Structure 1
């Protein structure tokens, strides 16, 4: 029995190491083929070591194993018995933290038969997998208290869409229904945080779909890493034709109710970042960042509210454990929901589409935020708040 427990711990720990390595590989701005090759190399190396460990497990006493193999097995067991339970506990604890943002969640796209949303593209068959929720769009309405918000901007609303991933795996009708649902959530501003295209044939969808949304105080978009795998100039031109301003590593300002609002956008590390000296003085600042991995740098720069995507909330979420695969330098830390990294508040959206449209325990979403001014924080409370660590103040279980 002890040997079986040892081998089970090794197998679980090795799987966790593989997942973590894949998450890290996919956070770097490598070309797709290099990312895939690095992933395959990692899987191959770990597979060979695993096969050798299995062979020695049955044929050779542990005392006769090479030191390197013993160290690898011990590391995998440590991952399974200590690191993975600790990370799971920390995730559960973060989800229970107080200060949740009030919101309402609604189902959308119920008026059409699900089959009408399946296209004829390469990965369309995935949409027909039993239990796949990739076509079960949810709309979320949030009332977001922000201490830095001037009173004149109280009630400012922002519609957020991210990770559209236009491709022929979905029918165009699916995205038409998504944007119809978004149009039923009117807002002062519209923000799209990247990854619009997975199929170059769908670039022509951008203008007619995005142009249907209204934003009296502005419509803004950024690109994502998947957009950089295609014709970036054509994508940016289609976004501009739809009436949006594409923010690619720069900041614009606008005046609303006599207050100056700074709006920046970046899809770094795949595109240009925003230099510290490029951020103008403003009464309130909003950053569109494709990946949430920039949150620490962005918080140091002083952004008040950050909208991000990229992670798709993991797409497949297991009970208790949560998501496994997530293309982030921080792995599962910023899976989805609200996170506070003083002085910034960040929201990570679950996305609308996927290159590989598989979702279990994770719905696509669109979100609207109504910003609310809150009374000034007392000096002692402000000190305690500023010393706080990264804290998700809302996450869906």
Structure 2
């Protein structure tokens, strides 16, 4: 059951500060009043719900719909090995489980597959890069119920950021489930007497309430830093702020792609090479997850859903990474 409005406002003001809470809640209220979005997102297809049935109809007529539905449930585990000169030696082999774009309340088959995969995975921390619910407005009870089932299968610690589908009203409940939400904030992660820093920003794609400066303000100079952002569109700002690794999602890798995983659209203002998988920008490594769930219609073509295990390595360590090596 969703908390009452006064309770949520009070909790969020205490958690985030009055300005951030009021700003985000006000922007969300404007969005729900207009439905179709604002600015660059005007008549955004995710918000134009009358078109969704038309899209489903087109794919059913094409004969691709049911194949796409089957593909959307075929969640895969991908792995990367990321090598950094600045990674503290104590963090050699530190593994992050990266999950993005769950849309838990509209992807039952994908969630069932994810539930099968999670118990067997070994990792040191889990990061969730947003879009927990399917809709962009309205009730979120079903999304929280779905997240409760997923969180019960995750090992602590778990960190997350909000996506453009998520309301900030979900934050207290998500944190009650054990997810440390990062909203323009950072946390240190320690091993022995060494630390790395994990920062996360509020949604930069639709609500535009992100602040990398605020998120990074408490990070000591020359620290190894990881940025969580729902969208990779902030890659320039993150790189020039000195982050070593940017983990994001949002694009779904296109979700419906041409053969060869060529996306028809990425719904993002960024180079296509940043739309899925590993990439580099200046001294920063990035990874854009294609996500677990699906948006608009529950189908995928030439773009299988994924979760990813990122194995971090020090450039000074003597390791054998096999075929998965990707030097940062």
Please, what TM-score do these two structures have when normalized by structure 1? 0.60
How far does the alpha carbon of each residue in 1:245-299 deviate from its partner, in whole angstroms, 9 at most, with x for none? 0001111223223212111111224233221661411631111111001111001
Deviation of 1:350 after TM superposition, in Å, equals 0.6
Please state if 1:256 is matched with 2:256.
Answer: no
Alignment of 1:217-232 (within 5 A): 218-228=157-167, 232=168
How far does the alpha carbon of each residue in 1:18-44 deviate from its partner, in whole angstroms, 9 at most, with x for none? xxxxxxxxxxx994513675469xxxx
Give the aligned partner of residue 34 of structure 1. Answer: 37
Alignment of 1:302-317 (within 5 A): 302-317=242-257
Deviation of 1:354 after TM superposition, in Å, equals 1.4
Deviation of 1:320 after TM superposition, in Å, equals 5.5
Deviation of 1:375 after TM superposition, in Å, equals 3.6
Give the aligned partner of residue 341 of structure 1. Answer: 281
Preserved CA contact (<8 Å) 1:153 1:257: no
CA distance in 2: counterparts of 1:250 and 1:37, whole angstroms: 29
Give the aligned partner of residue 23 of structure 2. Answer: none
Alignment of 1:1-397 (within 5 A): 31=31, 32-34=35-37, 37-38=42-43, 129-132=65-68, 133-167=71-105, 169-171=106-108, 174-198=110-134, 200=140, 201-215=142-156, 218-228=157-167, 232-233=168-169, 235-266=170-201, 267-269=203-205, 270=207, 271-275=209-213, 278-281=217-220, 283-319=223-259, 322-330=262-270, 332-355=272-295, 356-375=297-316
- Structure 1 stretches of at least 4 aligned residues deviating more than 6 Å after TM superposition: 121-128
Determine helix, strand or coil for the equivalent of 2:187. strand
Deviation of 1:161 after TM superposition, in Å, equals 0.2
CA distance in 2: counterparts of 1:208 and 1:316, whole angstroms: 28
Preserved CA contact (<8 Å) 1:207 1:241: no
Deviation of 1:331 after TM superposition, in Å, equals 5.4
Higher Cα radius of gyration: 1
Deviation of 1:244 after TM superposition, in Å, equals 1.4
The alpha-carbon distance between structure 1 residues 191 and 124, as it changes in their structure 2 partners (threshold 3 A), is: farther
Larger relative CO (CA 8 A, sep 6+): 1 or 2?
A: 2
Determine helix, strand or coil for the equivalent of 2:285. strand
Preserved CA contact (<8 Å) 1:303 1:344: yes
Q: CA RMSD in A?
A: 3.0
Range with bigger deviation, 367-376 or 310-319:
367-376
Preserved CA contact (<8 Å) 1:222 1:265: yes
CA distance in 1: counterparts of 2:268 and 2:114, whole angstroms: 26
Please, what TM-score do these two structures have when normalized by structure 2? 0.72
Preserved CA contact (<8 Å) 2:56 2:65: no
Deviation of 1:179 after TM superposition, in Å, equals 3.0
Aligned residues: 262
CA distance in 2: counterparts of 1:224 and 1:175, whole angstroms: 18
CA distance in 2: counterparts of 1:321 and 1:152, whole angstroms: 37
Preserved CA contact (<8 Å) 2:78 2:308: yes
Give the aligned partner of residue 71 of structure 1. Answer: none
List runs of 5+ in structure 1 lacking aligned partners: 1-28, 41-120, 377-392
List runs of 5+ in structure 2 lacking aligned partners: 1-27, 46-52, 318-325
CA distance in 2: counterparts of 1:33 and 1:343, whole angstroms: 38
